[in-house]
Structure 1
Amino acid sequence: MAYDIKTASEAMLASIPKRSAAVLEKRFGLAKSGKRFTLEAIGNSYGITRERVRQIEADGLNRIRKASEFSNLEPLFLSFTEYIKQQGGIVAESQLFSHFSNENVPSEAVRFLLTLHPNVIYRGESDIWHSRWGLDGIMMDSIEHALQRVSDVIKLKEETIAYEQLANMMQKELAAESVATPSHAILSAYIAISKQIDKNYFNQWGHTSSSLVRPRGVRDLAYLVFQQAGAPMHFSAAAERIREVATARRVHAQTVHNELIKDNRFVLVGRGMYGLSEWGYEPGTVQDIIIRALSSGPLSKDALVEKVLHKRQVKENTILINLQNRKRFKKFSDGTYGNVV
């Protein structure tokens, strides 16, 4: 008899004593609520130790594996195995849930049956890995070693990278581990098991410790928006763009404006217009910009105007008016301008 996933999990619980089934139901969250209970919580409800609960859980799983109904799970086990193979031999648990569960098939039932599967390997969640399932421990090690080396490299970068560059890095490290060159779909499945590699709102990849990948506030979000735009923006436009890309965050234009003022990565270049200091824009008044432009020697009017406009978005006439300040600037006989020493 072939089962669907939900029916299969119910049938397996029905094949063992009620107390064992109740413990497994709580441990795997197989009740309608989907809530998973800790060993301690279950122990307290039965007046037994955590270790005793662990023993009952292990015994219950062994009883199911020995039950006559267990052989009916073969088609489901085969479907799990084939899917993991298609994903390159290792896959994040969340991805398995996305594929096999739906509104009628709870993910808890999928996890329960995977736990009963005799030919798959489970590796739990950690600080650097998501929960994942695989078919071969050595291959899983190889893929994880490759991912870790790539993670170490991108952590040192002060910028994000395109997916193509990340893919090339991964393929190189996988080859070093004697893992066959994967398709892009498989490569994506590999990357998905790492907590250290991710993309930002603009599909730029990097290490998750970087604010370029995981923005920590409005300032970081604004910086990403400006980087993506590649040109100065009005603070209200930046706020609108943040709302577009980071839908979970509701920010007001004035909030963005206040953050831009406080962060030296941003420079006021016009009325409400900001640019990034890394683009060459400099803080200060137009007069300050002119003084710095002339610090290395006199310049012609056209050369000076061009230099100032690279640093600040102002009208040419504003620059010329500032040049009339004879306490700061002087005009030489050849028509060039210099600072008053």
Structure 2
Amino acid sequence: MTTTAQVTAGFHSILNSLTEKEKSVIMRRIGFNGNKETLQEIGNAYGITRERVRQIEDVGIRKIGRIMRTSDLVVIQNSGEKILKMHGGVMIRDRLISAIIADIGLDPTLNANIIDILLQADYQLQKSKPQLGTNSYFHFPEVSKKMIETIHKEAVKILKKRGDILEIAVLYDAIRTNLFAQFGKLDSLMIDSVMDIFLDVVKGEGKYIGLEKWKILNPATLKDKAIYTLKKSREPMHFMDIANAITEYFGEVVKISTIHNELIRNEEFVLIGRGIYVLKEWGYKEGTVLDVILDIFKKNEGPLSTEEITDKVLKIRQVKSTTIYMNLQNKDFIERVGRNLYQAKTA
């Protein structure tokens, strides 16, 4: 087993094979003896441009790649390649490094930038260039940047068209189907790794995925957390149960009165019974039981029986049958037109 001390000593030995400037640049870039420094900071120290610093760093990394062929630290590159293959040939940098540390049995406090440099020196791998809105990642050349970006764009297109979170498996199946003609059969693990790269896509707790801007899978406000809780439940919930679920999911103690007020004042929620709430997007409408009955009459031709009305009301309101019957006796809005038959009162 390679120890953390062996990795550190081995890396230092490799650096000693470089020129003094190459060694210094790489050590300062990874914070080997302190804080990481930017290209600009190193350039200022040497009186050279940041591009020249980058060139020196690249030359040093290529030299490390040649030295690694006979180094015991090649075990790190071998582990990285093995783990990448298990994830479809692409993986975000931090997750890959954590997996390598666990695979080899290194101390998690090891400077992760050492492993980063050794992976960059692996001729079998490529590392992404910095890009806004993404996590940096390593990949095999056959998993091209074009493929990665196309998969991401397809995921965003599908999610936008849906307008709501999707089960991860459903999204990945759709991506595979839509991109089959272009890339052949795509691996689910590879698609999953691609989703980790882009910050505008969020995988939530459980099996769902959505766009970050929706705030559904990564809720910040109490309203968003209530929406998340109801979506997770997929059924009506009492406001006390919503409060308890928020505490369970997010570790946040919520006052019953606070969540109740939040549900009352936001139009995204609809009260359908005594303290029972649903999401408006599920097709529920605000209003009293009488409003619901009158709406049912509008949508149906001809009178309806008490049983028919009750059945339709109970699909969208959690109320007692006696409450429905009492509202049918409101002669200002409803009239009886036969034995056990009712309709909206005509003008």
Which of the five TM-score ranges fits, normalised by the shorter chain?
A: 0.7 to 0.9
C-alpha displacement of 1:237: 0.7
CA distance in 1, matches of 2:134, 2:213: 14
CA RMSD after TM alignment: 3.4
Number of aligned residue pairs: 335
Gapped regions of structure 2 (runs ≥ 5)? 102-106
Aligned match for 1:272, one of 272, 275, 278: 275
Structure-to-structure mapping, 1:46-61, within 5 angstroms: 50-51=50-51, 53-54=53-54, 57-58=57-58, 60-61=60-61
Report Cα offsets for 1:225-279 as digits up to 9, x if no partner: 22332321111211222232334x5543333322222332321112211123344
C-alpha contact (below 8 Å) 1:9/1:112 kept by paired residues: no
- Judging changes above 3 Å, is the alpha-carbon distance between structure 1 residues 285 and 81 closer, same or farther for their aligned structure 2 residues? closer
Q: TM-score under structure 1 normalisation?
A: 0.80
- Judging changes above 3 Å, is the alpha-carbon distance between structure 1 residues 37 and 287 closer, same or farther for their aligned structure 2 residues? same
Report Cα offsets for 1:2-39 as digits up to 9, x if no partner: 995333322233444666544322311333x5x42223
Out of 70-79 and 22-31, give the one that drifted further: 70-79
Structure-to-structure mapping, 1:207-222, within 5 angstroms: 207-215=211-219, 217-222=221-226
Residue in structure 2 matched with residue 327 of structure 1 by the alignment = 332
CA distance in 2, matches of 1:7, 1:236: 58
Query: Secondary structure of the equivalent of 1:311?
Result: coil
Report Cα offsets for 1:257-310 as digits up to 9, x if no partner: 222223323211122111233444331222322333344554333333333333
Out of 326-335 and 282-291, give the one that drifted further: 326-335
- Judging changes above 3 Å, is the alpha-carbon distance between structure 1 residues 140 and 47 closer, same or farther for their aligned structure 2 residues? closer
Residue in structure 2 matched with residue 134 of structure 1 by the alignment = 139
CA distance in 2, matches of 1:304, 1:158: 33
Residue in structure 2 matched with residue 313 of structure 1 by the alignment = 318
Q: TM-score under structure 2 normalisation?
A: 0.79
Query: Secondary structure of the equivalent of 1:192?
Result: helix
C-alpha displacement of 1:111: 0.8
CA distance in 1, matches of 2:177, 2:330: 61
- Judging changes above 3 Å, is the alpha-carbon distance between structure 1 residues 104 and 206 closer, same or farther for their aligned structure 2 residues? closer
C-alpha contact (below 8 Å) 2:151/2:194 kept by paired residues: no
Gapped regions of structure 1 (runs ≥ 5)? none
Aligned match for 2:289, one of 286, 308, 314: 286
- Judging changes above 3 Å, is the alpha-carbon distance between structure 1 residues 203 and 218 closer, same or farther for their aligned structure 2 residues? farther
CA distance in 1, matches of 2:61, 2:233: 56
Aligned match for 1:200, one of 186, 204, 211: 204
Residue in structure 2 matched with residue 100 of structure 1 by the alignment = 100
Residue in structure 2 matched with residue 84 of structure 1 by the alignment = 84
C-alpha displacement of 1:123: 0.7
C-alpha contact (below 8 Å) 2:238/2:277 kept by paired residues: yes
Query: Secondary structure of the equivalent of 1:145?
Result: helix
Structure-to-structure mapping, 1:18-29, within 5 angstroms: 20-29=22-31
Letter in 2 for 1:114: L
Residue in structure 2 matched with residue 255 of structure 1 by the alignment = 258
C-alpha displacement of 1:154: 2.6
Report Cα offsets for 1:26-70 as digits up to 9, x if no partner: 311333x5x42223334556676545644554565466567x687
Letter in 1 for 2:276: M
- Quick check: 1:171 aligned with 2:176? yes
- Quick check: 1:158 aligned with 2:163? yes
Letter in 2 for 1:166: L
Residue in structure 2 matched with residue 11 of structure 1 by the alignment = 13
Residue in structure 1 matched with residue 127 of structure 2 by the alignment = 122
CA distance in 2, matches of 1:51, 1:126: 17
C-alpha contact (below 8 Å) 1:155/1:209 kept by paired residues: no
C-alpha contact (below 8 Å) 1:127/1:195 kept by paired residues: no
Query: Secondary structure of the equivalent of 1:124?
Result: coil
C-alpha contact (below 8 Å) 1:235/1:273 kept by paired residues: yes
CA distance in 2, matches of 1:276, 1:178: 39
What fraction of aligned residue pairs are identical, expressed as a percent? 28
